[in-house]
């Protein structure tokens, strides 16, 4: 599964909130499964899908119902050591409120002496990053399809005053049919105006983050532009072997496009990767509608996207069983024994509200 957490030191600008039309209503969905007062012992843990700096994601089967999900297990000692408590709480609280076709569902939360366990929807199609690296780059139709799904997800969370702040291919998953699911909400935050939290991934950082002036919803539209570029080129627009070089390129704002980019793709990316927040598309008077009406998306019926009418361009392998991990072939491994660090009662108390 996508990277659990990828955090770096960097700095942050904000802009007036754009006025935009309400997000489109998602189609009726099956009742959200919620395990109230669950314990990790209620689940049979299977292969590990991915691991991060203080946790891992495993396939899990609810013993009573046989419902297959994913358990995101975060080590408490590592959470405290890396000062990630607020991010863990934010991920749980935000995902509890969210119910959208292109965002992973949270089914419950529990903890034991060593770990906090977020019980998540199992997204079985594999990591989007793996598909992109496997193909090298996507054609514009493929990139447009997945960009549209991400856009609708951002429109939805922005309508709730939640910003995501960590868009990148590694944080996207594909479901069994090939539709996007955004995962890893550890850096997501509910805001009213601006925030100054230092978080993100170097290649995707907006200039306002680097300049340490506070940021808001516009950072998500910057990262959206970086994602479109990376899908079409196979690499991000400001890549450099050194992180400081990447930062300098972001601040310089010079874009170099490969020759195969269409005129409309280049125009949209330029308008998204604009440092001036009074000119960045998605942040202006018409809000996200201006992106949706851009010529690069011409001919796309947004209702067809949200209702999943269109056949996704990427095709995950069919599953042999609900807990099949073959679409995570390179990353899925058998579970290993977790190393535990004994916490004091005072430290355990910090987790009481989770």
* Binding positions for ATP: 81
Distance CA 263, CA 219 (A): 24
Distance CA 336, CA 264 (A): 49
Verify whether residue 99 is a known catalytic residue. no
Task: Write the DSSP symbol of residue 333.
Answer: B
Binding residues: 81
**Across the strands, what pairs with 151?**
none
Q: Which of 225, 291, 295 is nearest to 264 (CA)?
A: 295
Of the candidates 99, 112, 139, 166, the residue annotated as catalytic is: 166
CA distances from 166 to 10, 36, 86, 186 (A): 13, 29, 16, 9
Distance CA 341, CA 347 (A): 11
Distance CA 69, CA 127 (A): 16
Q: Which of 234, 201, 232 is nearest to 219 (CA)?
A: 201
Distance CA 299, CA 293 (A): 10
Nearest-5° Cα angle at 21, 104 to 188: 35
Tokens of 306: 């949200």
Which residues are part of the catalytic machinery?
166
């Amino acid at each position: 599964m996508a990277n659990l957490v990828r955090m770096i030191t960097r700095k942050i600008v904000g802009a007036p909130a754009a006025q935009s039309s309400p997000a489109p209503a998602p189609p009726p969905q099956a009742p959200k499964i919620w395990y109230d007062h669950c314990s990790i012992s209620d689940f049979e843990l299977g292969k590990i899908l991915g691991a991060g700096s203080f946790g891992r994601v495993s396939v899990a089967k609810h013993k009573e119902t046989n419902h297959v999900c994913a358990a995101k297990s975060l080590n408490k000692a590592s959470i405290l050591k890396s000062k990630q408590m607020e991010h863990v709480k934010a991920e749980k609280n935000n995902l509890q409120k969210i119910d959208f076709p292109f965002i992973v569902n949270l089914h419950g939360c529990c903890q034991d002496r060593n770990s906090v366990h977020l019980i998540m929807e199992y997204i079985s199609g594999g990591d989007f990053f793996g598909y992109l690296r496997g193909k090298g780059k996507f054609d514009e139709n493929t990139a447009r399809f997945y960009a549209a799904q991400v856009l609708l997800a951002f429109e939805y969370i922005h309508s709730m005053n939640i910003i995501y702040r960590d868009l990148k291919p590694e944080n996207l998953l594909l479901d069994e049919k090939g539709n996007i699911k955004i995962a890893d909400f550890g850096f997501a935050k509910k805001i009213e105006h601006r925030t100054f939290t230092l978080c993100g991934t170097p290649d995707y950082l907006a200039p306002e983050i680097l300049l340490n002036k506070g940021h808001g919803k516009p950072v998500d539209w910057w990262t959206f532009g970086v994602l479109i570029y990376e899908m079409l080129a196979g690499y991000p627009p400001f890549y450099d072997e050194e992180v400081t070089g990447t930062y300098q390129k972001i601040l310089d704002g010079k874009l170099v496009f490969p020759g195969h980019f269409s005129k409309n793709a280049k125009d949209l990316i330029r308008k998204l990767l604009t440092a001036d927040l009074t000119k960045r598309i998605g942040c202006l008077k018409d809000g996200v509608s201006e992106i949706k009406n851009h010529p690069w998306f011409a001919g796309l019926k947004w209702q067809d996207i949200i209702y999943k009418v269109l056949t996704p361009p990427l095709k995950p392998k069919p599953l042999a069983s609900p807990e099949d991990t073959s679409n995570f072939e390179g990353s899925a491994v058998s579970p290993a024994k977790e190393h535990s660090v004994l916490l004091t009662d005072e430290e355990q108390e910090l987790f009481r509200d989770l």
